Amino acid sequence: MQIAVRTVASFNYVLTDDDGQVIDSSEGRGPLTYLHGNGQIVPGLEKALEGRQAGDQFQVDVAPEEGYGVRHEELVQQVPRAAFQGVEDIQPGMQFQGRGPQGTFSVTVTAVEGDTVHVDGNHPLAGQPLHFAIEVTDVRAATDEELAHGHVHGPGGHQH
């Protein structure tokens, strides 16, 4: 069976940056399982998996536009420390969620200078090409319940 809309696919992966440094991997966790066509993985990787089948091994490079997006410098801001009520020790690398007119958003603290906190609302991998080494381990038809719920059930997926 080939990976297509309305299928559940499982794959092992190693994600590296331009320097060959490992950013993420399924090693030790088992394959990633997802419902194909539901936007559960980055678009460029989902496109590369289309038509593949169990046993396929390949490498794919995903451009930022098809990965975590391009960087938007307007999402890099300076915020008063008072905006972080209840947090006494703010350190670079900490992540926070906020609410705005478009809904919930996440920011990462990049620096703290006195009463000013520098935050970045871009995804940490925004603007970076993604390099994947993939091994497809399983492909099956999605169940009616998985299609109705929009996610995988059972091993590798959501448990109700």
> What percent of the chain has pLDDT above 90?
88
CATH number of 73-120: 2.40.10.330
pLDDT at position 100 is: 79
Give residues with Cβ within 8 angstroms of 113, minimum separation 6: none
Rounded CA separation 98/76 (Å): 14
Question: What does the domain layout of the chain look like in residue ranges?
Answer: 7-68+126-149, 73-120
CA 34 to chain centroid: 12
Tens-digit pLDDT profile for residues 18-70: 999 999 999 999 999 999 999 999 999 999 999 999 999 999 999 999 999 99
pTM as predicted: 0.83
- Asked whether this chain's domains 7-68+126-149 and 73-120 adopt the same fold, the reply is no
Measured CA to CA in angstroms, residue 115 lies from 7, 74, 87 at distances of 51, 21, 13
Q: Which of 85, 80, 110, 115 is CA-nearest to residue 95?
A: 110
Rounded CA separation 134/15 (Å): 9
Residue 154 in this model has a pLDDT that exceeds 80: no
- CB distance 79 to 117 below 8 Å: yes
Architecture of domain 7-68+126-149: Roll (3.10)
- Reading the block at residue 148, the tokens are 């109705």
